[in-house]
Amino acid sequence: MAKKYIGALLHLGMNMWSRREVEYTKSVGGYHYKLACQKDEWIALTEEMARLGMNLLLIDMAEGVRYDSHPELAVEGSWSKEEFKADLARLRALGITPIPKFNFSLGHSAWLKDYAYMAGTDTYYKVCEDLIREVCDLFDGPEFFHLGLEEEEYGSQASFPIIFIRNVATKCRDALRLFDICRDCNTRPWIWVDPNTIETFGGEEEFCRIVPRDVLLSNWFYGCCYNGPRMPEDVSPRCYLYKKIGEWGYDQIPTTSNWGNEFNAKQTMDFCKRYVEDSITGYMCASWLETVHDYHYGNVDCLYNLKYAYDDVYGEEK
């Protein structure tokens, strides 16, 4: 059996939620004018990952690094490229493969500052391309490049001051354009999927027709995967999507979390191993918490949750 990736998503940048017009407050979050990520916490969490034998770190880049091509996206405290590159070397020395992630969903675009509202313009597409190319270079040609692209529908943006949505044709066109840039950089495109996101691609049939099979998919579901012993009858539709993705012929990295309960990771792996093992490139957890001391235990709990689940479900096969 091929070695699986097992890892986590950590946030270097954090301006993916809300809008720039919403100033960060302790209650509802919002736009960070100063980098939220605390470096000593970043190091502590990644070292914990290494101790747990994890080999994949998906890095939410966003405003976390001052990019040469677009330094105007940086905030106070953004890491220099030299500083970041040194950290990539540190991660690799720990046995962890770092993978970059930007979110090009129009619902998660605050990190793009003014460009967030410029989709459809040549400027916007050039910025996207500049950033992907620069970051691929920064990572010395990463195996994958996560492009986000989820939660663009109205419901995900309903609380925003400005809602910005692409129609199906535009979303598909823009996604294909991003995939092509990745391929041109010799990196494999990777995106989030969930039922709503699939709808923004025109529904399941259209999604399967439009999105090529080389695109790596991550369905994310953090609730109870099943409420009874009968599988697949007792499986929730959100979990069942893992099975569909496998049957559609895509590779996937299911994403788990301690967001809602303690058993999501194990249930997800149980289900995926049973039904779509051949499609599983790896597993990833996401606490969706900031990389700060205040959420240390929340982040560590998420890592352990995935590790315990992996040991339980895959045990000797690893």
Partner 1 sequence: MNLKPFKSIVLYLGSNFWAQKDCTFPVDPEEFIYRDKLFCDKNTWDEVVKQLPEFEIDTLVIALGEGVVYPSHPEIATSGAWDTEDFKNELKKIRGMGIRVIPYNNFLPFHNAWMGKFAYMAGTPAYYDFCCDIVRDVIDMFDTPEMFHLGLGDEGYNSKYYTSDSRNFTMIFARHIMCEYANMLFDICREKGVRPWIWADRKSIDGFGGDKYFCDHIGRDVLLSSSFNENPIGIFMKDGKAFVGDTVSPSALHYNKLSEWGYTQIPAITRRVHPRSPQTVMEYTSLTCDNIDGFIMQTLALTVPRKYYAVMNSVQNLSVSYDKVFGKGGTLNG
Residues that bind partner 1 (CB under 8 A): 22-23, 25-30, 158-159, 224, 226-229, 234, 258-263, 266, 287-289, 294-298, 300-301, 304-305, 308
Distances (CA, A) of 97 to 6, 68, 100, 216, 274: 10, 23, 10, 16, 27
Provide the minimum distance between the beta carbon of 266 and partner 1 in the complex, in angstroms, as a whole number. 8
Q: Are 170 and 96 in contact (CB under 8 A)?
A: no
Q: Are 96 and 49 in contact (CB under 8 A)?
A: yes
Query: Which CB atom, from 121 or from 159, has the smaller least distance to partner 1?
Result: 159
Q: Using CA atoms, how far apart are residues 80 and 58, in angstroms rounded to an integer? A: 19
Provide the minimum distance between the beta carbon of 258 and partner 1 in the complex, in angstroms, as a whole number. 7
Provide the minimum distance between the beta carbon of 23 and partner 1 in the complex, in angstroms, as a whole number. 8
Distances (CA, A) of 283 to 111, 169, 238, 253, 309: 26, 31, 16, 5, 10
Provide the minimum distance between the beta carbon of 261 and partner 1 in the complex, in angstroms, as a whole number. 6
Provide the minimum distance between the beta carbon of 263 and partner 1 in the complex, in angstroms, as a whole number. 4
Report the greatest alpha carbon distance in the chain.
54
Query: Which CB atom, from 219 or from 287, has the smaller least distance to partner 1?
Result: 287
Query: 190 — phi, psi (to 5°)?
Result: -140, 135
Provide the minimum distance between the beta carbon of 277 and partner 1 in the complex, in angstroms, as a whole number. 21
Query: Which CB atom, from 183 or from 296, has the smaller least distance to partner 1?
Result: 296
Query: Which CB atom, from 99 or from 289, has the smaller least distance to partner 1?
Result: 289
Cis peptide before 100 (omega within 30 of 0): no
313: nearest Cα among 258, 275, 287: 275
Query: Which CB atom, from 147 or from 289, has the smaller least distance to partner 1?
Result: 289
Q: Are 290 and 41 in contact (CB under 8 A)?
A: no
Query: Which CB atom, from 78 or from 305, has the smaller least distance to partner 1?
Result: 305
